[in-house]
Protein backbone atom coordinates (compact mmCIF):
# COMPACT_ATOMS: atom_id res chain seq x y z
CA UNK A 1 0.00 0.00 0.00
CA UNK A 2 1.48 3.34 -1.04
CA UNK A 3 0.17 6.85 -0.53
CA UNK A 4 1.04 10.13 -2.21
CA UNK A 5 -0.44 13.34 -0.80
CA UNK A 6 -0.46 16.64 -2.64
CA UNK A 7 -0.69 19.48 -0.15
CA UNK A 8 -0.32 23.27 -0.01
CA UNK A 9 1.70 24.40 2.99
CA UNK A 10 -0.53 25.26 5.94
CA UNK A 11 -3.78 24.83 4.02
CA UNK A 12 -6.64 22.47 4.89
CA UNK A 13 -4.61 19.70 3.26
CA UNK A 14 -2.13 19.93 6.13
CA UNK A 15 -4.82 18.40 8.35
CA UNK A 16 -4.89 15.40 6.01
CA UNK A 17 -1.09 15.29 6.21
CA UNK A 18 -1.12 15.29 10.03
CA UNK A 19 -3.92 12.71 10.19
CA UNK A 20 -2.01 10.41 7.86
CA UNK A 21 1.02 10.77 10.12
CA UNK A 22 -1.17 9.96 13.13
CA UNK A 23 -2.43 6.85 11.36
CA UNK A 24 1.15 5.76 10.64
CA UNK A 25 0.71 5.87 6.86
CA UNK A 26 3.93 7.74 6.00
CA UNK A 27 2.73 9.32 2.75
CA UNK A 28 5.08 10.78 0.19
CA UNK A 29 4.13 14.44 0.35
CA UNK A 30 4.35 16.90 -2.53
CA UNK A 31 4.03 20.55 -1.54
CA UNK A 32 2.24 22.59 -4.18
CA UNK A 33 2.11 26.36 -4.67
CA UNK A 34 -0.14 28.75 -6.55
CA UNK A 35 0.35 29.26 -10.28
CA UNK A 36 1.51 27.15 -13.18
CA UNK A 37 5.19 26.78 -12.32
CA UNK A 38 6.91 23.42 -11.84
CA UNK A 39 5.23 22.89 -8.43
CA UNK A 40 2.13 24.90 -9.26
CA UNK A 41 -1.44 23.81 -8.75
CA UNK A 42 -2.18 24.86 -12.34
CA UNK A 43 0.86 23.15 -13.84
CA UNK A 44 -0.30 21.03 -16.81
CA UNK A 45 1.29 17.89 -15.40
CA UNK A 46 -0.54 18.29 -12.10
CA UNK A 47 -3.79 19.03 -13.91
CA UNK A 48 -3.43 15.70 -15.70
CA UNK A 49 -3.47 14.04 -12.27
CA UNK A 50 -6.10 16.29 -10.72
CA UNK A 51 -8.13 18.37 -13.21
CA UNK A 52 -9.49 20.43 -10.30
CA UNK A 53 -6.01 21.78 -9.68
CA UNK A 54 -6.54 21.90 -5.94
CA UNK A 55 -5.51 20.20 -2.70
CA UNK A 56 -5.74 17.90 -0.90
CA UNK A 57 -5.27 15.28 -3.57
CA UNK A 58 -4.55 11.74 -2.44
CA UNK A 59 -3.16 8.96 -4.61
CA UNK A 60 -3.56 5.48 -3.15
CA UNK A 61 -1.85 2.78 -5.19
CA UNK A 62 -2.22 4.86 -8.35
CA UNK A 63 -5.85 5.91 -7.83
CA UNK A 64 -6.65 9.55 -7.07
CA UNK A 65 -9.15 11.02 -4.62
CA UNK A 66 -10.25 14.61 -3.99
CA UNK A 67 -12.26 16.44 -1.27
CA UNK A 68 -10.67 16.69 2.15
CA UNK A 69 -13.69 15.55 4.15
CA UNK A 70 -14.06 12.44 2.01
CA UNK A 71 -10.33 11.66 2.13
CA UNK A 72 -10.23 12.02 5.92
CA UNK A 73 -13.33 9.87 6.46
CA UNK A 74 -12.07 7.18 4.10
CA UNK A 75 -8.63 6.96 5.69
CA UNK A 76 -9.90 7.00 9.27
CA UNK A 77 -12.47 4.30 8.53
CA UNK A 78 -9.99 2.18 6.64
CA UNK A 79 -7.33 2.33 9.33
CA UNK A 80 -9.64 2.27 12.33
CA UNK A 81 -8.69 5.45 14.18
CA UNK A 82 -9.78 9.06 14.75
CA UNK A 83 -13.43 8.29 13.87
CA UNK A 84 -15.71 6.08 15.99
CA UNK A 85 -17.27 3.21 14.10
CA UNK A 86 -20.90 3.34 15.28
CA UNK A 87 -23.71 5.17 16.99
CA UNK A 88 -23.95 8.60 18.54
CA UNK A 89 -20.20 8.83 19.04
CA UNK A 90 -19.67 8.49 15.30
CA UNK A 91 -22.48 10.92 14.55
CA UNK A 92 -20.95 13.53 16.84
CA UNK A 93 -17.46 13.08 15.41
CA UNK A 94 -18.78 13.37 11.85
CA UNK A 95 -20.87 16.41 12.80
CA UNK A 96 -17.76 18.23 13.98
CA UNK A 97 -15.72 17.12 10.98
CA UNK A 98 -18.38 18.50 8.65
CA UNK A 99 -18.65 21.70 10.71
CA UNK A 100 -14.93 22.30 10.21
CA UNK A 101 -14.98 21.29 6.55
CA UNK A 102 -18.28 22.73 5.33
CA UNK A 103 -19.02 25.64 7.69
CA UNK A 104 -15.82 27.04 9.17
CA UNK A 105 -13.57 26.51 6.15
CA UNK A 106 -15.90 28.31 3.68
CA UNK A 107 -16.31 31.17 6.16
CA UNK A 108 -12.56 31.71 6.06
CA UNK A 109 -12.66 31.29 2.30
CA UNK A 110 -14.85 34.37 2.02
CA UNK A 111 -12.18 36.48 3.72
CA UNK A 112 -9.56 35.22 1.29
CA UNK A 113 -11.84 36.02 -1.66
CA UNK A 114 -12.53 39.52 -0.35
CA UNK A 115 -8.83 40.25 0.11
CA UNK A 116 -7.99 39.03 -3.39
CA UNK A 117 -10.93 40.34 -5.41
CA UNK A 118 -12.61 43.41 -3.94
CA UNK A 119 -11.27 46.93 -4.51
CA UNK A 120 -9.29 48.22 -1.55
CA UNK A 121 -11.95 50.74 -0.58
CA UNK A 122 -14.56 47.98 -0.26
CA UNK A 123 -12.45 45.51 1.65
CA UNK A 124 -12.58 46.94 5.17
CA UNK A 125 -16.34 46.69 5.63
CA UNK A 126 -16.61 43.34 3.89
CA UNK A 127 -13.76 41.83 5.90
CA UNK A 128 -15.23 43.15 9.15
CA UNK A 129 -18.53 41.42 8.45
CA UNK A 130 -16.90 38.16 7.32
CA UNK A 131 -14.61 38.05 10.32
CA UNK A 132 -17.51 38.75 12.69
CA UNK A 133 -19.22 35.65 11.32
CA UNK A 134 -16.06 33.61 11.86
CA UNK A 135 -15.80 34.88 15.42
CA UNK A 136 -19.37 33.72 16.04
CA UNK A 137 -18.36 30.26 14.87
CA UNK A 138 -15.39 30.18 17.24
CA UNK A 139 -17.65 31.35 20.06
CA UNK A 140 -20.00 28.47 19.21
CA UNK A 141 -17.11 25.99 19.45
CA UNK A 142 -16.15 27.33 22.86
CA UNK A 143 -19.74 27.15 24.08
CA UNK A 144 -20.13 23.55 22.97
CA UNK A 145 -16.86 22.55 24.63
CA UNK A 146 -18.01 24.23 27.85
CA UNK A 147 -21.35 22.38 27.75
CA UNK A 148 -19.80 18.99 27.07
CA UNK A 149 -16.96 19.36 29.55
CA UNK A 150 -14.78 17.18 27.33
CA UNK A 151 -11.19 17.70 26.22
CA UNK A 152 -11.90 17.42 22.52
CA UNK A 153 -14.79 18.21 20.19
CA UNK A 154 -16.35 14.75 20.29
CA UNK A 155 -15.21 13.41 23.64
CA UNK A 156 -12.16 12.67 25.72
CA UNK A 157 -10.17 11.34 22.76
CA UNK A 158 -9.21 13.35 19.66
CA UNK A 159 -10.97 12.74 16.38
CA UNK A 160 -10.23 13.91 12.86
CA UNK A 161 -12.28 17.07 13.42
CA UNK A 162 -9.83 18.28 16.06
CA UNK A 163 -7.00 18.06 13.53
CA UNK A 164 -8.91 20.01 10.88
CA UNK A 165 -10.14 22.64 13.34
CA UNK A 166 -6.60 23.11 14.65
CA UNK A 167 -5.30 23.63 11.11
CA UNK A 168 -7.96 26.19 10.16
CA UNK A 169 -7.35 28.13 13.38
CA UNK A 170 -3.82 28.95 12.21
CA UNK A 171 -5.11 31.05 9.32
CA UNK A 172 -4.64 34.65 10.51
CA UNK A 173 -5.16 33.75 14.19
CA UNK A 174 -4.49 37.30 15.37
CA UNK A 175 -7.84 38.35 13.86
CA UNK A 176 -9.86 36.15 16.24
CA UNK A 177 -10.33 35.47 19.93
CA UNK A 178 -10.28 31.81 20.88
CA UNK A 179 -11.78 30.68 24.17
CA UNK A 180 -9.62 28.76 26.68
CA UNK A 181 -11.16 25.36 25.97
CA UNK A 182 -10.85 25.88 22.22
CA UNK A 183 -7.26 26.98 22.56
CA UNK A 184 -6.55 23.89 24.70
CA UNK A 185 -7.64 21.73 21.75
CA UNK A 186 -5.15 23.57 19.53
CA UNK A 187 -2.37 23.14 22.08
CA UNK A 188 -3.02 19.43 22.53
CA UNK A 189 -3.32 18.63 18.83
CA UNK A 190 -0.48 20.83 17.59
CA UNK A 191 1.87 19.28 20.17
CA UNK A 192 1.30 15.73 18.94
CA UNK A 193 4.30 14.23 17.09
CA UNK A 194 2.15 13.60 14.01
CA UNK A 195 1.17 17.25 13.81
CA UNK A 196 4.66 18.51 14.58
CA UNK A 197 5.98 16.37 11.74
CA UNK A 198 3.47 17.88 9.31
CA UNK A 199 4.37 21.40 10.45
CA UNK A 200 8.05 20.69 9.91
CA UNK A 201 7.56 19.08 6.51
CA UNK A 202 5.40 21.99 5.32
CA UNK A 203 7.62 24.60 7.03
CA UNK A 204 4.76 26.16 8.98
CA UNK A 205 4.90 27.92 12.34
CA UNK A 206 1.90 27.23 14.55
CA UNK A 207 0.59 30.41 16.21
CA UNK A 208 -3.05 29.79 17.15
CA UNK A 209 -2.19 28.03 20.41
CA UNK A 210 -0.10 30.93 21.75
Give the mean pLDDT of 97-124: 97
- Domain match, 104 and 187 both: yes
- Domain match, 73 and 163 both: no
**Residue 32 lies inside a defined structural domain of this protein:** yes
Give the mean pLDDT of 109-124: 96
**Average model confidence (pLDDT) across the chain:** 97
**Residue 119 lies inside a defined structural domain of this protein:** yes
**Residue 95 lies inside a defined structural domain of this protein:** yes
Domain stop point among 59, 79, 99 = 79
- Domain match, 98 and 60 both: no
Range of the domain at 137: 87-191
**Residue 7 lies inside a defined structural domain of this protein:** yes
CATH of the domain at 182: 1.20.1050.10
Residue 7 confidence (pLDDT): 98
Residue 197 confidence (pLDDT): 98
- Domain match, 175 and 94 both: yes
Rg for the chain, CA atoms, rounded: 17
Residue 3 confidence (pLDDT): 98
**Residue 66 lies inside a defined structural domain of this protein:** yes
Give the mean pLDDT of 82-105: 98
- Domain match, 100 and 68 both: no
Closest of 68, 48, 72, 46 to residue 56, by C-alpha:
68
Compute the distance between CA of residue 172 and CA of residue 85 in angstroms, rounded to an integer. Answer: 34
Residue 71 confidence (pLDDT): 98
Does the pLDDT at position 34 exceed 90?
A: yes
Give the mean pLDDT of 178-187: 98
Residue 1 confidence (pLDDT): 82
- Cβ neighbours for 87, distance < 8 A, ≥ 6 positions apart: none
**Residue 96 lies inside a defined structural domain of this protein:** yes
Compute the distance between CA of residue 55 and CA of residue 183 in angstroms, rounded to an integer. Answer: 26
**Residue 114 lies inside a defined structural domain of this protein:** yes
**Residue 107 lies inside a defined structural domain of this protein:** yes
Amino acid sequence: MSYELYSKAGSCSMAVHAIMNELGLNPKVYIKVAGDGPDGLKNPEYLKLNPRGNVPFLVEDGKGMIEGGAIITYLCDKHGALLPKLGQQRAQALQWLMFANATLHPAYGRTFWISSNLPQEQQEGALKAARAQIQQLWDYVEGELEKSGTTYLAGIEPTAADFLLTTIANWNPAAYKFGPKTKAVFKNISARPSYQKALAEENIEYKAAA
